[in-house]
Structure 1
Amino acid sequence: MVELDGEGRAVSLAEKPPQPRSRYAVTGLCFYDASVVDVARSLSPSARGELKITDINKDSLASGESQLQIMGRGMAWLDAGTHESLLKAATFIESLEKRQGLKIACPEEIAYRMGYIDADQVRALAAPLAKSGYGDHLLRMLEEVVL
Structure 2
Amino acid sequence: MFQVPDPEKFGVIELDNNENIIGIEEKPLKPKSNLIIPGMYFFDSNACEYAKTLKPSDRGELEITDLIQIYLSQNKLALQRLDETIIWHDTGNADALLEAAQKVKNYEMDNKIKMGSYEIASYEKGFIDKEGLLKIAQKFSKSDYGQYIKDVYLGEVN
Q: Distance in 1 between matches of 2:119 and 2:62?
A: 36
Aligned length: 146
Selected match of 1:13 from 3, 24, 33: 24
Cα gap change, 1:123 to 1:5, in 2 (>3 Å):
same
Q: Which moved more, 1:97-106 or 1:32-41?
A: 32-41
Q: How does 1:50-61 map to 2 (within 5 A)?
A: 50-61=61-72
Change (3 A) 1:41 1:119: closer
Q: Within 1, Cα distance between the matches of 2:146 and 2:157?
A: 18
The answer to whether structure 1 residue 67 and structure 2 residue 78 are counterparts is: yes
Shift of 1:145: 8.8
TM-score normalized with structure 2 length: 0.79
- Which of 54, 59, 64 aligns to 1:43? It is 54
Determine the structure 2 residue equivalent to 1:96: 107
Deviation of 1:40 after TM superposition, in Å, equals 2.3
Greater RCO, CA 8 A, separation 6+: 2
How many Å apart are 1:7 and its aligned residue?
1.8
What secondary structure is seen at the aligned counterpart in 2 of 1:84?
Answer: helix
Contact kept, 8 Å, 2:26 with 2:65, in 1: the verdict is yes
RMSD over aligned Cα atoms: 2.2
- 3-state SS of paired residue (2:23): strand
Any unmatched runs of 5+ in structure 1?
none
Q: Which amino acid aligns with 1:106?
A: S
More strand by share: 2
1:141 maps onto 2:152 in alignment: yes
Residues 90 and 96, structure 2, Cα contact 8 Å, conserved in 1 = yes
Structure 2 residue ranges without an equivalent (≥5): 1-11
Q: CA deviation at 1:26?
A: 0.9
- Identity level (%): 32
Query: Does residue 1:117 correspond to 2:133, yes or no?
Result: no
